[in-house]
Amino acid sequence: MPYIPVFTRHDRAILQESREETTSPIFGCFGNVTVLTQQQYNLVQTNKNRGYIMPNIHHPKRGSHGYWPRKRAKTETPHIKSWAEGNDKPKIQGFFGYKAGMTHAFIVDYRPTSTTSGREVKMAVTVVETPPMKVAAVRAYQRTAYGLQCTGEIWAEKIDSELARRIPLVKNQKEKNWDLTKDADEIRVILYTQPKLVTGTTKKAPEISEVKIGGGTIEEQIKYVKEILGKDLKINDVVKEGDMLDTIAVTKGKGWQGTIKRHHVKLLLHKNSKHRRMIGTAGSWHPSWVQATVPQAGQMGYHQRTEYNKRVLKVGENGEEITPAGGFPNYGVIRNSYILLHGSIPGPVKRLIGMRDAVRYQRGVKFQKAEITYVSTTSKQGA
């Protein structure tokens, strides 16, 4: 008879306690592997089907270890650490905007594998107001054994005075020494927002961030940054309709929450001696401390999170055409350019949203422009 390995102790117990007679000899155990004959294996499966054996409990851990420690973000300005590979021409690989709210639109489904492909469907869309940004400086980096090292930076001649709310401004800058960028391996630019152009937020101090220049050679990138240094940068210069972006933002803060809401653990039995909304155990006896894997109460929300692969459905210049009657709740009227993203993005209304070229979109759907038949501008008040 053929021999079949079985790995559970429960299977051995079934054979030992079973009163049914078997013509084959008793099974053998070699290390962690139990060897059964075909008749014994069939007996084990029959008893399993009859419910004579307890099932193996699968209880995965709650919460991702990648998001630890779960504490409040240091700043609301997104920090982008990785960038996608560039194309043939130099291009700024990121932009920033303010989340205005959500609405719905009727769009011809552009996904070829979807069951509604080519048909008009209703989609949830997010509106992000994107006023022009300004290029404050250019930075050159070299790759060393210790990572990227900044070899020099060149600042624009005219910088808005509001930027002094964030950083000390450069005074009496010497002549621009572009020789610093000769041996550079990577070129980046320092951008800052203009919240004074947005009526949906009361911010005055611009947010400042560093964005990579991707695509082309280093010489082409240096030529490109010379043209844009100190000038306004519009969303049309960075993002096109149909592009795929990653959105980075600080999520909505929910304060201090308990284990049930924070980690979605199950309620204890109703016959528990004390409470139900608590953990059943704080971990093993050893190590003699509470490990980070144990779900506990603490800060929930207000963490920087990244959502990958958001399709740009539309890039608009006139914000009034997308503003609903009465304005977006808690935001108001869009007065600058905007983009329409498919789906939801992290963060509440007015939150600064960082957008970059998708880093995990190796293959997928490519199209020039979404066929939008209707965008809802009905009042969202009281919705």
Domain definitions of the chain by residue range: 3-49, 91-168+176-252+301-375
- Asked whether residue 45 carries a pLDDT value surpassing 80, the answer given is no
Rounded to 5°, angle at Cα 125 from 121 and 126: 180
Helix (H) or strand (E) holding 5: strand 3-6
| Band of pLDDT at residue 68, cut at 50, 70 and 90 | confident
CA distance 222 to 184: 10
How far is it, in rounded angstroms, from Cα 48 to Cα 29? 20
Q: How many CA atoms lie within 13 A of 307 on its CB side?
A: 15
Angle, vertex CA 212, rays to CA 147 and CA 345, nearest 5: 110
Contact 320, 333 (CB under 8 A): yes
**What's the pLDDT tens digit per position in 74-126?**
999 999 999 998 888 999 999 999 999 999 999 999 888 889 999 999 999 99
Kindly tell me if the per-residue pLDDT of 48 is higher than 70. Answer: no
Residue 18 has pLDDT above 70, yes or no: no
pLDDT at 50: 60
- Average pLDDT rounded to a whole number, residues 214-237: 93
Question: If 0-12 CB within 10 Å is exposed, 13-18 middle and 19+ buried, where does residue 111 land?
Answer: middle
Distance CA 197, CA 74 (A): 25
Q: Decide if 52 contacts 14 (C-beta within 8 A).
A: yes
Q: Average pLDDT, stretch 321-345?
A: 96
Contact by Cβ (8 Å): 268, 276:
yes
Cα–Cα distance between 190 and 138 in angstroms, integer? Answer: 6
CATH of domain 91-168+176-252+301-375: 2.40.30.10
Asked if the bond preceding 60 is cis, omega within 30° of 0, the reply is: no
Is the pLDDT confidence value at 32 over 60? no
Between CA 341 and CA 311 the distance in angstroms is 6
Structure tokens at 119: 């048909």
Rounded to two decimals, the pTM is 0.81
- Model confidence over 229-288: pLDDT tens digits? 999 999 999 999 999 999 999 999 999 999 999 988 889 988 888 899 998 889 999 999
Phi/psi zone of residue 364: left (φ > 0), alpha (ψ -120 to 50 degrees), beta? left
How many other CB atoms sit within 10 Å of the CB of residue 353? 25
